[in-house]
Structure 1
Amino acid sequence: MQTCGSTTGRRSPEPGPEYSRQRHRPPDSTDSPPWRCGSGGGPDIGGSLQRGLTGNLRGANHIGLKHSTDILRRIELGWHQPRIVNRLLLPLSWLYCALAVLVRLSWRIGLRRPERVGVPVLVVGNLTVGGTGKTPLVIALAAHFRSSGCRPGIVSRGYGGRTSAVPHGVTGSDTSSAVGDEALLLQRHSGVPVAVCADRVAAARHLVDNDGCNLIISDDGLQHHRLHRDLDIVVVDTMRGFGNGWCLPAGPLREPKSVLRHADIKVFNGAGAVGKDREFGMIMEGAEAHSLRDRVRKLPLAGFAGDPVHAVAGIGNPERFFRHLEGAGLAVVRHAFPDHHTYTESDFGFAGDDSVILMTEKDAVKCDHLDIAGGVFCVPVSARISPGFFAAVQRHLDIRSAPRNPEP
């Protein structure tokens, strides 16, 4: 199939519903060659600043630096409702923006050349820090291509886990602390191989060589230019948009908004339909709650209407989850945590034996081992994308990914 690219010269496993995965145990950091990850790829400065801010928030909380935490939270709140502190940071944002433009330009004009992995690469990313709905879209894309006869694989940085210096094939026995919450969620629900590594080129080659993948989906890879891509899909959160429109650290943008016009396809999370060429709407659907203690127990969300429920969300945009529950008729008590938050039992001190707690699947993968009082449920969601999206993706890949012999 042309869209999946040529696999000439490679031995691929026979097609089937299950993929064989060779699990690679990440070596200790002392055994990891320092040049293996991220070398020559140019800085993912947006991701670095986001991780730095999140890390500072957690570190300040951990050692009790309340004032530092308050300042950082004010900065983040100002991303959507500008405050004085954000305006004071504008000179840093201008410098950051200039650097982001130069990094992207160096790849566009050929000063640095991206590396191919012998199969088409599809990138799903966003311009802002935090969640926009990329994970459900990646799962939907993997399901589509798998049903079309392709053998897709997903590469992820594994944020929130222990980033390895060599690619690691995610398995069901991994934990979120090892591979990251999003990578674990992708592995459980996509049905395709998932590899994590800071070096996405190495992760992609691992999937091609070890799992016979003939299409790579790069999760949150828009700012990682070293891996050649055949298609860019940019996801925009219609609820929060681009915030105050400023780049980090004064605003939430990883790159200037002008980058959006170079995207091959745009997906607007929260919009039913867009009606423009190469632009599509996406709605999250989920009407059931699954018990964390009894995996086969599933209840309709409407069954929780009446008494208040505790809603827990440690994602990029917790308010979207809270509103989803309210849209199902639930009375919600909000408990918002930072994105990629590592939960402990003390986080659920509000719960009693009669409490009902609803959380996202991304939170659930980090809580299924905790002893939490009350009834604890996760709410799975899936992406419903406006008609024509998958045909547009297929069309772009057909045009840009003409069969080629893989690199030796």
Structure 2
Amino acid sequence: MNRWVARIWAEDCGATRILSPFGCLYGLVTGARMRRAPIGRVAIPVIAVGNFTVGGAGKTPTVGALVRMARAGGLTPMVVTRGYGGRLEGPVVVDLAHHGARDVGDEALLHARLATTIVSRDRLAGARLAERLGAHLVLLDDGFQNPRLAKDLSLVVVDRASGLGNGRVMPAGPLRAPLAIQIERADALVIVDSGEGTHPSTLALIETATARGLPVFDAHLAPLDPELVAGRRVVAFAGIGRPGKFAATLAACGAQVVDFVAFADHHPYTAGEAADLLKRAAAADADLVTTAKDAARLDAPDGPIARLARGARVLDVALVFDDGEGLVRLIGATMAGLDRRPA
């Protein structure tokens, strides 16, 4: 997300109020789309992982955590994703030996490291392929607002620090559709804490969800190998929804961030940008460090991008639920209910 847009969407201001009529119009369209009856369903459970807003909330690590939970329960999950940033429409099974970020997008590559992942612009077609391949359940990445495929459980991920911003619909704010319509279709919230505080809208949303009887699960991002950067001088770079999350994680690991370069989400790195990052690190006598999502896009065979990929440390993170057992019970109850659903 553009940093200027993110800044004006964080709170109400003159620009967002001027754009408000356009947000109302967009909300009417997206709201009507969300109200449509699903075109089809599959016989296996479909768990959607989405968010109310545009930008990074933590969907990718949430899906990863659900994959691990499902496998711990003896199930075979498969991930279905649109493949944002990739050229393939699918449905196609991601092959890490042959596909790159330009083919299937960066997030699909991360998912494919953990589970069979299908890229499909048509979510229903992707879920049907997962069913044919023997999946026990489908984890739908970012298909919450998509009406084509019926969902059995919808988990909405919310970043604690950014929340719902000013609460307006795009382009006046970050909401993808009016909140009232979206929350009607949510089954639970996942509040992700990255150590950056709490936005007032997050507190209001939790109160609303609690009043409606929606379960609210707290979670936090935990670096897999904090010693990778602890005590080191680093030049960090990140092209994710909220680069500030990565900066906060580095600080929590004890890294000394001497330079931080933020790019837009899913940013495709150029040779010039890679050369500049290498130069910054050399001038600062510091290590380069980035996210796993960014590293997935550094897939050039040679040149500055290849050198950047070889030289950058990758600090990966995992999502940890404060009440993982409660979420497992919710998913289990959903699947048990589906066993009694008429064919």
Alignment TM-score > 0.5, same fold:
yes
Mapping of residues 18-29 of structure 1, within 5 Å: none
Report the more deviating stretch, 235-244 or 73-82: 73-82
Note closer, same or farther for the CA distance 1:271–1:205 as it changes in structure 2 (3 Å cut): same
Equivalent residue for 2:307? 372
State the distance in 1 between where 2:241 and 2:254 align: 23
In 2, Cα distance between the equivalents of 1:375 and 1:73?
Answer: 27
Q: 1:282: Cα distance to partner?
A: 0.7
Amino acid at match of 1:86: T
| Counterpart pick for 1:398 among 319, 336, 341 | 336
Which whole-Å deviations, capped at 9, do the CAs of 1:216-241 have from their partners, x for residues lacking one? 11100101111011101001111100
Q: Does 1:347 align with 2:273?
A: yes
Asked whether the equivalents of residues 75 and 250 of structure 1 are also in contact (C-alpha less than 8 Å), the reply is: no
Secondary structure at 1:117's aligned position in 2? coil
Q: Which amino acid aligns with 2:169?
A: C
The 5 A counterparts of 1:8-407 are 74-105=4-35, 107=36, 112-164=37-89, 166-173=90-97, 174-188=99-113, 190=114, 192-209=115-132, 211-258=133-180, 259-270=182-193, 278-288=215-225, 299-304=227-232, 307=233, 309-332=234-257, 333-348=259-274, 349-352=276-279, 353=282, 354-369=285-300, 370-372=305-307, 375-387=311-323, 388-402=326-340, 405=343
- Give the partner amino acid of 1:339: D
Task: Check conservation: 1:231, 1:397, Cα contact below 8 A.
Answer: no
Task: Tell me the secondary structure at the aligned position of residue 235 of structure 1.
Answer: strand
SS at 2:17 equivalent: helix
1:181-235 Cα deviation digits (max 9, x unpaired) = 00111001x2x211111100011111111x2112111100101111011101001
Task: Give me the whole-angstrom Cα distance separating, in 1, the residues matched to 2:327 and 2:141.
Answer: 18
Change (3 A) 1:205 1:343: same
Q: Which amino acid aligns with 2:296?
A: V
Deviation of 1:89 after TM superposition, in Å, equals: 1.2
- The CA distance in 1 between the partners of 2:38 and 2:342, in whole Å, is 18
* Maintained 8 Å contact 2:156/2:190: yes
- Using the TM superposition, give the Cα deviation of residue 344 of structure 1 relative to its aligned residue in structure 2, in angstroms: 1.9
Identity of aligned residues (%): 35
CA contact (8 A) 2:53 2:175 kept: yes
Change in CA separation of 1:93 and 1:271 when aligned onto 2, cut-off 3 Å: same
Unaligned segments of structure 1, at least 5 residues: 1-53, 55-71, 290-298
Structure 1 residue matching 2:219: 3-state secondary structure: strand
Q: Is the 8 A contact 1:313 1:337 kept in 2?
A: yes
Q: Distance between the aligned counterparts of 2:5 and 2:295, measured in 1?
A: 28
User: Deviation at 1:326?
Assistant: 0.9
Instruction: Give secondary structure in 2 for the equivalent of 1:266.
Output: strand
How much does 1:262 deviate?
Answer: 3.8
RMSD: 2.3
Q: Contact 1:287–1:301 (CA<8 Å) still a contact in 2? A: no
**How many angstroms does 1:81 deviate by?**
3.7
User: Which ranges in structure 2 are unaligned for 5 or more consecutive residues?
Assistant: 196-205
Greater per-residue helix proportion: 2
TM-score (norm 1): 0.72
Cα distance in structure 2, aligned partners of 1:265 and 1:194: 24
TM-score (norm 2): 0.85
**1:400 positional shift:** 4.0
Q: Which has the larger radius of gyration?
A: 1
CA contact 1:115–1:226 (8 Å) conserved in 2: yes
Q: How far apart, CA to CA, are the structure 2 residues paired with 1:134 and 1:357?
A: 25
Residues 336-389 of structure 1 deviation map (CA, whole Å, 9 limit, x = unaligned):
100010012321304334431111100001125423369411111011002222
Kept in 2: contact 1:345–1:372 (CA 8 A): no
Q: Deviations over 1:32-66 (max 9, x none)?
A: xxxxxxxxxxxxxxxxxxxxxx7xxxxxxxxxxxx
Distance 1:271 1:312, change over 3 A: closer
Equivalent pair of 2:224/2:318 in contact (CA under 8 Å): no
Q: Please state how far the C-alpha of 1:87 moved relative to its aligned partner.
A: 2.1
Q: How far off its partner does 1:148 sit? A: 1.5
Name the CA shift for 1:113/1:134 in 2 (closer, same or farther; >3 Å).
closer
